[in-house]
Structure 1
């Protein structure tokens, strides 16, 4: 047996101060105090009756305004809907405002890669004996 004061809060234990409380009674007291709240009663929805083997699933819609953050438009501020200004002059003063074309590129940004040169190595003549090219080909001299 467990004492009523050991498990149950004073509010529930007042009527059990003169006797021992079982563990089951103490757990029931705790479930009553600290357990989940009773579910809210279901709101009846205006549902159509099923026809034949049809299954009808419906529910009443909850009020959603509690989840909405009011905007400036709700308060009548529609300043974001009008534009009283001229568009900015991106050309700026002193810049040619006629038709113009640009050529060239900015190094490293918009330049195309250099062309790839293709050549036939087999069409090259043989290196003369004793030349640097011949010695490099035979591994007798480092390239470079």
Structure 2
């Protein structure tokens, strides 16, 4: 039951990140998918799967560089598969280069945002622990 709860949590976090990225691309008027129910469902499923894939970082026996590399490549393959299955046409002709650059930029942006979030959380926890130790 604990594993199912963790996977569900990871999936929801993935959906939240995917929705944020999608809404950001819409706000910036970047070329993106048309917001049809089918494409939004595909985006949510893709984001949930990528979120679940992030549990790879919980594996103690896997080194961090290998986990990052595996996550990057697996995420890229998931996005490619979703692109193909949904018929989004990002892989045709000159769009391929733009797609790869966009993928790398978005992937880096998400990791920077997560790093900053973790850093803020760690600082808050450190501050709380220091207060408790002084009492």
Q: So what's the TM-score if we normalise by structure 2? A: 0.18
Per chain length, whose mean CA-contact separation is higher, i.e. which structure has more relative contact order (CA < 8 Å, sep 6+)?
2
- The structure where helix makes up a greater share of residues is 2
Q: Normalising to structure 1: TM-score of the pair?
A: 0.17
